[in-house]
Amino acid sequence: MKIAVLVVGLAACSPSGPKDSPMSTPPPKSTAAQPGSNASAAVAPGTHLPIARSLDDLRTHEGTPVQVEGTFQFPTEKAFARNTLILDDGTIVVLPRPSTGVGTAELVEANSGARLAVRGLVYIGAIPEKYNIIGRTRDPYLVELTAVERVK
């Protein structure tokens, strides 16, 4: 029993662990729109996107490019740690935790408690398989992160 617990604990911290662990969330296989799928979140800077600040807003714009605004929460737990955005109605949105690229500088511990605007696609129910998210929580997930900025 102790060995199984140790193995699970190590898997959560290693790049080969669950896909939503902070070190192993892979980028989607393709950010291009697939036939029969919603448009990619890749939106030109300065483009107006709908703003989501509640679960109802997320439902309205699920699977389409959206700007999600809320309070950033840096993970405090070690295993299965996830960056999250807390919306105005208390809804928790799980954010990708990039090691490089878009949002890297903005999604750091120093911004915990800051109001952020994050652009991407949000899925509340089923998440398309192409994102390779396994072992997920019931919370909505934001994928295809395209921008992160502090809201004043």
- Give the single-character DSSP code of 10: H
pLDDT digits (tens, 9 = 90+) for 29-69: 333 333 334 444 455 556 789 999 999 999 999 999 999 99
Rounded to two decimals, the pTM is: 0.68
- DSSP states along 125-145: SPPPGGG---S--SS-EEEEE
Fold of 2-150: OB fold (Dihydrolipoamide Acetyltransferase, E2P) (2.40.50)
100, pLDDT greater than 70:
no
DSSP 38: P
Specify the pLDDT at position 97.
72
Can you name the residues that pair with 67 across neighbouring β-strands? 51, 119
CA 75 from centroid of its chain's CA atoms:
13
List the chain domain ranges.
2-150
Task: Give the pLDDT confidence score for residue 106 in this predicted structure.
Answer: 79
- Top-confidence residue, 5 or 121: 121
